[in-house]
Amino acid sequence: MQVPELTGGASPPAASPSARHRWILHVDLDQFQVSVERIRDPGLEGVAVIVGGSGDPEQPRTVVTCASYEARDLGVRAGMPMRAALKRSPDAVFLPTDHATYDAASARVMEAIASLGHPVEVWGWDEAYVGVDADDPVPVAAAIRETVAAATGLRSAVGISDNKQRAKMATNIAKKYPVDGDPAARVFVLTGENWMAEMGERPTRDLHSVGPKTAAKLAAAGVDTVDDLVDTPRQTLIEMFGPHQGTWLYVLARGGGDGTITTEPEPARSHSKVHTFPTDLTDVAQMHGRLAELTDALLAQIVAEGRVVFRVAVTVRTTTFFTRTKSRKLPAPTTSLADIEPSVHVLLDKFDLDRPVRLLGVRLELTDPDT
């Protein structure tokens, strides 16, 4: 089935400055945290390794942040509770999350990619988008893999397309190739020419940004595959999901997406801090105290960035995982703790706190830095 080329349009707006390029490459590092740990300790090669929390799988309320392929083969996944991971892989090596080391390793990776002279948009520790205007992007992708491996010892896969969403899906295909071998072996090109051949029979869940709830809702309507989604009228999708998400699904099914690379991130619109407590809180005064601590630490970060707060939000999660957020606008933009903290306490008092509290969070929304 042939579908029209769709790029840009219904995708989320990109930050400025940004530019379009002939090709967009998505670079994804293999099992990043585990790979960094294996460089530090080569004895971890070939064994199941699970990274998360303090490294103690018996510690409650901690989750897996990265699992080696050996652990994944046993059913361990990122986001899984560490205790569940221990049951699936009792002989695994469990390691704590080392943010400072991962930050440094990621910085070296991004420097290596940027050294090739193409604009780079960083999307986290282990992934980035690269804008390329060459006629043939495959040699560039191979050069990225070689350069990153030589500079850091880390291996990667690269997806190539004309927009971010399709490039990321191309990376998922590239990851199925063996890790070692030719630098171009873990590179895949996904364009309008091979889009339906590669994606048509795949489940809608394989589309980037389609989560399990959306996929389940589509399946309930008889839309199981990308082919099915392409055959679904735009108006039907809008009626099911609303004008924004419905239109986005219509575009996404046809391979559309965001075709820009942004090298300078948009200023943050808010900062937040959350804390999951090892022991549930039942004392309201203690809850107020912990929220005050979170607010103080968060505001110090915001003041250091020269930003100003105009709205406050508080999140509460009970032991039943019932989660709600309440917010209020401040009388005037401010950086004063004396002006902000009372609103935090007022918001907490609006919650029904008759059940033990598992998590508390504070979000401070910020004015535009240019205002």
The CATH number covering residue 106 comes to: 3.30.70.270
Among residues 227, 257, 287, the one where a domain terminates is 257
In a domain, 278, yes or no: yes
Task: Tell me the pLDDT band of 371, cut-offs 50, 70 and 90.
Answer: low
Catalytic residue among 37, 70, 127, 198: 127
> Which pLDDT does position 62 carry in this prediction?
87
Task: Tell me the pLDDT band of 99, cut-offs 50, 70 and 90.
Answer: confident
Q: First and final CA of the chain: distance in angstroms?
A: 50
- In CATH, what number is assigned to the domain containing residue 350? 3.30.1490.100
Q: Tokens 């991004």 — which residue? A: 110
> How many domains does the chain fold into?
3
In a domain, 56, yes or no: yes
- In CATH, what number is assigned to the domain containing residue 239? 1.10.150.20
In a shared domain, residues 83 and 104 = yes
> Which pLDDT does position 13 carry in this prediction?
36
Structural domain for 229, as ranges: 197-257
> Which pLDDT does position 12 carry in this prediction?
36
201-213: average pLDDT: 95
In a shared domain, residues 309 and 357 = yes
In a domain, 4, yes or no: no
Return the higher-pLDDT residue of 10 and 126.
126
In a shared domain, residues 250 and 149 = no
Task: Tell me the pLDDT band of 98, cut-offs 50, 70 and 90.
Answer: very high
The residues facing 328 across adjacent strands are 312
298-309: average pLDDT: 92
In a shared domain, residues 98 and 241 = no
In a shared domain, residues 203 and 291 = no
In a shared domain, residues 328 and 240 = no
In a shared domain, residues 43 and 186 = yes
Residue 262 to residues 14, 42, 113, 258: CA-CA distances in angstroms? 7, 36, 15, 11
pLDDT tens digits for range 161-180 = 999 999 999 999 999 877 66
In a domain, 360, yes or no: yes
Q: Give yes or no: 293 in active site.
A: no
In a shared domain, residues 179 and 290 = no
User: 10 Å Cβ neighbour count for 115?
Assistant: 13
In a shared domain, residues 32 and 171 = yes
In a shared domain, residues 282 and 243 = no
pLDDT tens digits for range 220-254 = 999 999 999 999 999 999 999 999 999 999 999 99
pLDDT reading at 293 higher than 80: yes
**CA-CA distance, 88 to 92, in Å (whole number)?**
9
Among residues 163, 190, 217, the one where a domain terminates is 190
Task: Tell me the pLDDT band of 305, cut-offs 50, 70 and 90.
Answer: confident
44-64: average pLDDT: 93
pLDDT reading at 198 higher than 60: yes
pLDDT reading at 11 higher than 70: no
pLDDT tens digits for range 15-42 = 346 778 899 999 999 999 999 999 999 9
In a domain, 28, yes or no: yes
Tell me the three-class secondary structure of the chain, residue by residue: CCCCCCCCCCCCCCCCCEEECCEEEEEEECCHHHHHHHHHCHHHCCCCEEECCCCCCCCCCCECCEECHHHHCCCCCCCCEHHHHHHHCCCCEEECCCHHHHHHHHHHHHHHHHCCCCCEEECCCCEEEEEECCCCCHHHHHHHHHHHHHHHCCCEEEEEECCHHHHHHHHHHHCCCCCCCCCCCCEEECCCCCHHHHHCCCEHHHCCCCCHHHHHHHHHCCCCEHHHHHCCCHHHHHHHHCHHHHHHHHHHHCCCCCCEEECCCCCCCEEEEEEEEEEEECCHHHHHHHHHHHHHHHHHHHHHCCCCEEEEEEEEEECCCCEEEEEEEEEEEECCHHHHHHHHHHHHHCCCCCCCEEEEEEEEEECCCCC
In a shared domain, residues 29 and 165 = yes
In a domain, 9, yes or no: no
What value does the mean pLDDT of the chain take? 91
In a domain, 33, yes or no: yes
In a domain, 277, yes or no: yes
Among residues 208, 233, 257, the one where a domain terminates is 257
In a shared domain, residues 186 and 225 = no
Task: Tell me the pLDDT band of 370, cut-offs 50, 70 and 90.
Answer: low
Structure pTM?
Answer: 0.73
> Which pLDDT does position 278 carry in this prediction?
87
Task: Tell me the pLDDT band of 181, cut-offs 50, 70 and 90.
Answer: low
